[in-house]
C-alpha cells in the first residue's frame, strides 16, 4: 500500500450535483420570499443540509417553527432526489476516472469525505462505489465542514496519518476542514474563491498524471 491517502469530496468534485443542490435551495428560498444569489450558494457548498437551511433563514431574517423547519428540509431533499434520480456515469466530472485509476494502479488508499447523506446512493448510481476503500458521509459525522471530523474519520478508516492525506474539495468550508485536519488541500474550482487551498485547479483535466504521481511518492 502507498503511504499517501487520497480523500475526495463528492458534490462538485466527483459529480456535478452542486448544480442540483443550488436549484433546490434557490426554489426553497424563493418560495419563502428570500433572494438567493450565486455568492450565497458558494457559502452553502460543503455545508450540511440543516446548517444550509439555518443560513438561508438568517439571510431572510425569518424565524419558523421546528415543524416547518423539518418539513422544508424534507421538501428540499425530495426535490434534490428527483434531480438525481436518473443520474448515471455520464455525470461523472471530466478526468475523475483517470485520476482514480492512477491512484488505484499506484495502490493508494482512497476515501470519500462528503457532507451529503445521499453520497452512497450517488456513488452507486454513477458506478464508482467500488473504487473507494472507505466512505465517510453526512450520516457518519456529527460536526459539519468546516469542522475537520469528516476528513479525520476518513483518514482513520484508511489508516493513514492526517499529514499524509490529500483532499480534493470544491467548497470553502471543505478546504478549511482539510487544513484544520492538517492535510494537503487541493481546490477544484476558482482560485479567487478557494484561495486557502494549497493548490487550485479548475477541474481534474488540469491535473497532470505527473502531479498525481508526485503526490503518491511523497
| Interacting residues toward ligand B16 by CB under 6 A | 9-12, 21, 44-49, 52, 77, 114-118, 138, 171
Distance, C-alpha 196 to centroid of its chain: 16
Q: Which is nearer to ligand B16, 21 or 157 (CB)?
A: 21
**Of 11, 133, 137, 170, which is the active-site residue?**
11
Burial of 88 (0-12, 13-18, 19+ CB in 10 A): exposed
Q: Which is nearer to ligand B16, 27 or 213 (CB)?
A: 27
- Report in angstroms how near the CB of residue 2 gets to ligand B16 at its nearest: 24
Q: Where are the beta strands (DSSP E) in the chain?
A: 5-8, 110-113, 134-136, 165-169, 184-188, 199-201
4 binds, among Mg ion, ligand B16, none (CB under 5 to 8 A by kind): none
- Report in angstroms how near the CB of residue 173 gets to Mg ion at its nearest: 9
Q: Which three cell numbers stand for residue 159?
A: 489508516
Q: Which is nearer to Mg ion, 12 or 138 (CB)?
A: 12
Q: Which three cell numbers stand for residue 121?
A: 446512493
- Report in angstroms how near the CB of residue 25 gets to ligand B16 at its nearest: 8
Instruction: Based on the residue annotation, tell me whether 88 is a catalytic residue of this protein.
Output: no
149 binds, among Mg ion, ligand B16, none (CB under 5 to 8 A by kind): none
Instruction: Based on the residue annotation, tell me whether 11 is a catalytic residue of this protein.
Output: yes
Chain residues that interact with Mg ion, rule: CB under 5 A: 9, 11-12, 46, 170-171
- Report in angstroms how near the CB of residue 174 gets to Mg ion at its nearest: 6
Give 144-166 as a 3 state SS string: CCCCCHHHHHHHHHCCCCHHHEE
With beta carbons less than 8 A apart as the criterion, state whether 150 and 115 touch. Answer: yes
With beta carbons less than 8 A apart as the criterion, state whether 176 and 46 touch. Answer: no
Q: Which is nearer to ligand B16, 86 or 107 (CB)?
A: 86
Q: Which three cell numbers stand for residue 31?
A: 418560495
Positions marked active-site:
9, 11
Amino acid at each position: 500500500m502507498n503511504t499517501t491517502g487520497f480523500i475526495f469530496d463528492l458534490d462538485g468534485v466527483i459529480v456535478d450535483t452542486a448544480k442540483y443542490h443550488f436549484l433546490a435551495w434557490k426554489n426553497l428560498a424563493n418560495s419563502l420570499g428570500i433572494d438567493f444569489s450565486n455568492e450565497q450558494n458558494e457559502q452553502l457548498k460543503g455545508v450540511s443540509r440543516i446548517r444550509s437551511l439555518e443560513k438561508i433563514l438568517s439571510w431572510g431574517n425569518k424565524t419558523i417553527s421546528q415543524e416547518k423547519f423539518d418539513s422544508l428540509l424534507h421538501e428540499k431533499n425530495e426535490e434534490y432526489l428527483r434531480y438525481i434520480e436518473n443520474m448515471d456515469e455520464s455525470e461523472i466530472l471530466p478526468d475523475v476516472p483517470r485520476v482514480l485509476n492512477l491512484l488505484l494502479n499506484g495502490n493508494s488508499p482512497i476515501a470519500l469525505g462528503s457532507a451529503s447523506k445521499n453520497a452512497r446512493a450517488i456513488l452507486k448510481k454513477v458506478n464508482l462505489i467500488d473504487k473507494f476503500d472507505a466512505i465517510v458521509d453526512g450520516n457518519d459525522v456529527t460536526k459539519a465542514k468546516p469542522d475537520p471530523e469528516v476528513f479525520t474519520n476518513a483518514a482513520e478508516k484508511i489508516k493513514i496519518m492526517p499529514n499524509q492525506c490529500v483532499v480534493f474539495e470544491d467548497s470553502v468550508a471543505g478546504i478549511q476542514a482539510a487544513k484544520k485536519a492538517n492535510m494537503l488541500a487541493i481546490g477544484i474550482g476558482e482560485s479567487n474563491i478557494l484561495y486557502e487551498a494549497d493548490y487550485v485547479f479548475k477541474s481534474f483535466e488540469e491535473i497532470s498524471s505527473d502531479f498525481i504521481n508526485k503526490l503518491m511518492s511523497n
